[in-house]
Amino acid sequence: MQPSPIRDLTVGLFVLAGLAAIAYLSVQVGGLQGERGFHLYATFDQIGGLRPRAPVVVSGVQVGQVSSIELDKNLRARVNMDVDPSLELPVDTMASIMTEGVLGNKFLALEPGAEDELLKDGEEIAFTESAVLLERLIGKFVNDAGLDEED
Amino acid sequence: MRLPAVERIGFKSQLFVDHLGGLAVFTLSVLRCAFVPPFRFRRFVDEVFDAGVLSLSIVCLSGFAVGAVLGLQGYDTLVRFGAEANVGAMVGLSLVRELGPVLTALLVIGRAGSAAAAQIATMVTTEQLDGLRMMSIDPIDFVVGPKALALLVVMPLLAALFILFALFGGYLVSVMLLGLHGGTYFASLESAITFADDIVPSFSKALVFGALVGFIATYRGYTSEPTSTGVSAATTGTVVTASVCVLLFDYVITALWGI
């Protein structure tokens, strides 16, 4: 086979297109991203269905994502998150686990507090609000209703 | 005491083991040519053209069709549970984890693997490989190696394009045709698929399949009988063996590592 510039060009383009597709799938679809560099963590009693890569939002705007979730020494869920370093969050920021809609995916909402002191990289968000488990609520409701009837 | 039936089983088993050993030695000698000079880069590029560029149209078109059908079926099924917002996740997960690598491998087997086997088998039949040997050119190094390695390299690239086109097909059907919100499709897609658990295993699978197809196709061609029946047997054998191996390995990989 003779060297042919056109064939070589198409091979080059093919390889580049393939690599671009892999890159797109990894970065956009797979969510592979460079560290934003600002790590915070919060401990919860109950995280419901929160998963790694769940969005971290402030006033509904995504500012980062949950990087990992582990169990700490006291058997509480420690949620590590990676957020935008330009964010100025007061130390009394509250982290709560919310649900999109009634049955949607869980996400982590941050509600900035009023303190002047700001959270630094690697610090803990002390104020947390655990996930509300719908089934537990329903259970409670049913229970309460049942007790009322007995009375 | 003679037991012809048992003897036949014994003979077949020996033949099978013989082939396995042959394939292993063959694979090692092909891999050796990738790391030991002379490097046939020119030949490798030509083979990438044959196996990759010429497979592009069929892979992209099939990807698009598969994605579109997944979108249609997924929507139809999920809408019964009121979960049509998760069409993106369903299409994406099934494509990335299973269908992308497997269907690409099957397409490449039919399009490029069979061609590679037939070409090498014809060269065996017409004694071209012996001609190369007489010029002291190693046919493994010059003909077989570039083909096998090209199939190996091309597979993840084609799988990525297949998945991309399929995601696009699923998007078109579920958003343009069925009226799902475009943001919903991509949001559920992106939240369902993770890099470490889905994308990396997907391309590892594609690479394993590429190796399987490359080595099986070239091995069947290289060891074919030097007759016209030999050529056809090598081609058929490649398609059958490689397809079955891909599907079996897919199950084993998924079962072992849960990907």
8 Å CB contact between B92 and B184: no
Environment class of A78 (CB within 10 Å of its CB; exposed 0-12, middle 13-18, buried 19+) = middle
Domain locations in chain B?
4-257
| pLDDT at residue B116, as a whole number | 93
Q: Which of B142, B259, B251, B152 is nearest to B199 (CA)?
A: B259
8 Å CB contact between B169 and B64: yes
| pLDDT at residue B162, as a whole number | 95
Q: Token match 């063959």: residue?
A: B26
| pLDDT at residue B185, as a whole number | 85
Of B45, B96, B195, which has the smallest distance from its Cβ to A11's Cβ? B45
Q: Which of B165, B159, B186 is nearest to B174 (CA)?
A: B186
Quick one: what percent of chain B has pLDDT higher than 70?
100
Quick one: what percent of chain A has pLDDT higher than 70?
89
B43 CA: distance to closest CA in chain A (Å)? 8
| pLDDT at residue B153, as a whole number | 92
Strand partners, A49: none
pLDDT band at residue A47 under the 50/70/90 scheme = confident
User: Given a cut of 60, is residue A151 above it in pLDDT?
Assistant: no
> Which helix (H) or strand (E) element contains residue A107?
strand A106-111
| pLDDT at residue A10, as a whole number | 86
> Which helix (H) or strand (E) element contains residue A133?
none
Q: How many CB atoms lie within 10 A of CB A84?
A: 15
B60 CA: distance to closest CA in chain A (Å)? 11
User: Given a cut of 80, is residue B212 above it in pLDDT?
Assistant: yes
Residues B89-133 pLDDT 10s: 889 999 999 999 999 999 999 999 999 999 999 999 999 988 999
Residues B11-66 pLDDT 10s: 889 988 998 898 899 999 888 888 887 778 888 888 899 888 989 999 999 999 99
> For the complex shown, is ipTM > 0.85?
no
Q: How far apart are CA B175 and CA B162, in angstroms?
A: 20
- Averaged pLDDT, B176-189: 84
pLDDT band at residue B138 under the 50/70/90 scheme = confident
- To probe the interface with B, which of A6, A16, A25 has the most B CB atoms within 10 Å? A25
| Inter-chain CB proximity B49 and A26 less than 8 Å | no
Sign of CA dihedral B25, B27, B31, B36: positive
Task: Give the lowest-confidence range in A140-144, A145-149, B51-55, B150-154.
Answer: A145-149
Determine the distance from the C-alpha atom of residue B245 to the mean position of all C-alpha atoms in its chain, rounded to a whole number. Answer: 10
Question: Torsion-angle region of residue A48: left (phi > 0), alpha (psi -120 to 50) or beta?
Answer: left
Give me B255's structure tokens: 């079962």
A26 CA: distance to closest CA in chain B (Å)? 6
- Averaged pLDDT, B176-192: 84
Question: DSSP alpha helices (H): ranges in chain B?
Answer: 4-35, 41-51, 56-78, 87-94, 100-108, 114-125, 128-134, 139, 145-171, 182-192, 200-222, 228-257
8 Å CB contact between A67 and A115: no
